[in-house]
Structure 1
Amino acid sequence: MGSFKGHALPGTFFYVTGIWWTLKAVLKYACKRHKRTSYLGSKALFHRVDIVEGIILVCMALTGMLGEQFITGGPYLSLYDYKKGQWVQLLGWHHTTMYFFFGLVGVADILCSTISSIPASLSKLTLSNALLVEAFIFYNHTHGREILDIFVHQLLVLVIIVTGLLAFLEFLIRHNVILELLRISFILLQGSWFWQIGFVLYPPSGGPAWDLTDHENIMFLTICLCWHYAFSFIIIGIIYAFVIWLVKSRLNSFCPSEVGLLKNVEREQESEEEM
């Protein structure tokens, strides 16, 4: 991960995953709100989606692990060099460990969707665990570096800890779309901040190098983090508006008799909930 590409890869993973989780969370909420009984809002569909999602997460984790181990100068699965008497690329092993725990999140998604005896909340607990492990790793990741390098990673650690705590709250409080979207907003923030770290520490070819000892750069990056967070809310808002519009337009496409039938079903379900 000690390169621009090394930071862009996890940043892309987190951002794509955050966008996908936003789509899924809002779609679940919209279908539940309108109490649709179509296949679009069925539990069977979401179970299949969770299985596919778990497989993709495992593939992402494997890609990151293999990339960290077998890039040029990587450890190539060697942890200790007995001839030289020293550890081999421990920073690469840090990143590999991080990817491994996120791979476990994918495994938990698959197991929770295929084995009925496993609680569905296990996936949230596994996600919280992976995030807190990631925070622990990055907290111990920058010893002996320049002040700006340490600062951008400290901000990342703060974001990861908050995300992990929110994921743990989801484990305790289920089916809360506001809490879920709040956690996703920090996932998006984490993804974009990985990209920002790449631009700060490893500017792409032709880009000016940042002064890693300039205090004003620290002040700017403090503001920059807030801008990143605001942008994550804009992305969530756009996706939310699009999905709600899509579900409502699908409802309006039914003929009047079908709409009346759906309204009757909704009234019956509401009366049952009140009882």
Structure 2
Amino acid sequence: MPTSFLGSALRGTFFLIFGLWWSVRYPLKYLRRKVSAESQPSYGVQRAEFFEGAVKVFFALAGILVEQFIPTGPHLHLYSSNTHSWTDLTPWHFSTMYLFFLLSGIVDIVSHSPLKLPLGLDRLSLSMALFIEGLLFCFHANSNAALDHHLHSLLVMAIFAGALSALLEVFIRDHIILETFKTSSFLLQGSWLWQIGFVLSPPWGGPGWDQTDLSNITFLTMCFCWHYVVALAILAANSAASRCCNESCQLKFGDIDVELDCGVCIHKGNKSSSRALLRESTLDDK
């Protein structure tokens, strides 16, 4: 089954949503850690990661259902006894990819439940899902054309970069450099999947780009680098906007801090003010 533009765009949107969300959340979390001496993750961080897991589960389930039950899909049939051959392995490839992201989302949710899974298991499950995705795309080619192989080889580079950064986060948690690198890899994956859709199956119809023209390979290699430059520009813009938002909120509310992971304002001086009131009441009693 050839790659469809809609399927490639939907997969790209999945990674773009997480990349854009992280490009805002991680800088805000970093700014909050700079002004907070708390070593334990705040309630807002836990809610944000629980929400991420739920969104991941939703998208993964939707992806599996779409891949399996579209009119041309395999409908959970893997082998045909009539033709004695495999049936539509491409949807099964993508269903397998979504399956591991589904497991990653479930681990994210359970990690913030009363079960209290070991710290870092959520990052490990995400790294495993990305490694599986990279493995599947290493051997995913709809034809023997060089351009098809080259497009997916570039995609695999972005996938394994994200998998490596997620694996390092198992041991070095809440490191802004690793989080930024992982975010950039997700943005690159998402935009490049859209690019693959435009190259192999243009939405306006037609056979796609010339698979035998070597100049297309040269151009797309440069285009891959441009995609990464755009991802870095998005990261820089969202980081600058997060910093401006943080500073303006502090100027506006004074001693009111911002729970940056969920946008809720909280009072930094609750403990100190309560202690002051307690001391005053004690003196009055005397």
TM-score, normalised with respect to structure 1: 0.88
User: What residue number does 2:141 align with?
Assistant: 142
Distance in 1 separating the partners of 2:239 and 2:55:
23
**For each residue in 1:16-67, what CA deviation from the matched residue of structure 2 results, as whole angstroms up to 9, or x when unmatched?**
1111122221111111112288xxx971122122222211110000111111
Distance in 1 separating the partners of 2:214 and 2:240:
40
Distance in 2 separating the partners of 1:26 and 1:233:
14
In the alignment, structure 1 residue 35 sits paired with structure 2 residue 44: no
User: What residue number does 1:85 align with?
Assistant: 84
Q: Does the 8 A contact of 2:100 with 2:129 survive in 1?
A: yes
Q: Does the 8 A contact of 1:47 with 1:113 survive in 2?
A: yes
Compute the RMSD of aligned alpha carbons: 2.3
Q: Report how far residue 117 of structure 1 moved.
A: 2.8
Distance in 2 separating the partners of 1:2 and 1:77:
19
Matches for 1:173-252 after TM superposition, within 5 Å: 173-205=172-204, 209-252=208-251
- Helix, strand or coil: the match of 2:253? coil
**For each residue in 1:73-126, what CA deviation from the matched residue of structure 2 results, as whole angstroms up to 9, or x when unmatched?**
110011111122111111110000001101111111101111353123111101
- Helix, strand or coil: the match of 1:83? coil
Distance in 1 separating the partners of 2:256 and 2:20:
33
- Helix, strand or coil: the match of 2:67? helix
Q: Does the 8 A contact of 1:113 with 1:120 survive in 2?
A: no
User: What residue number does 1:130 align with?
Assistant: 129
- Helix, strand or coil: the match of 2:211? coil
Q: Aligned letter for 1:147?
A: A
Distance in 2 separating the partners of 1:44 and 1:163:
26
Which structure 1 residue ranges, 5 or more long, are not aligned?
Answer: 266-275
Which structure 2 residue ranges, 5 or more long, are not aligned?
Answer: 258-267, 273-286
User: What residue number does 2:25 align with?
Assistant: 24
Q: 1:42 to 1:131 in 2, by over 3 A?
A: closer
Q: Percent of counterpart pairs with the same letter? A: 42
Q: Report how far residue 148 of structure 1 moved.
A: 0.4
- Helix, strand or coil: the match of 2:112? helix
- Helix, strand or coil: the match of 2:140? coil
Q: Does the 8 A contact of 2:3 with 2:142 survive in 1?
A: no
Distance in 1 separating the partners of 2:127 and 2:25:
19
Q: Aligned letter for 2:27?
A: V
Q: Aligned letter for 1:94?
A: H
Q: Aligned letter for 1:2?
A: T
Higher CA-based Rg: 2
Q: Does the 8 A contact of 2:200 with 2:207 survive in 1?
A: no
Q: Report how far residue 162 of structure 1 moved.
A: 1.6
Q: 1:127 to 1:44 in 2, by over 3 A?
A: same
Higher helix share: 1
User: What residue number does 2:116 align with?
Assistant: 117
Q: Report how far residue 2 of structure 1 moved.
A: 2.0
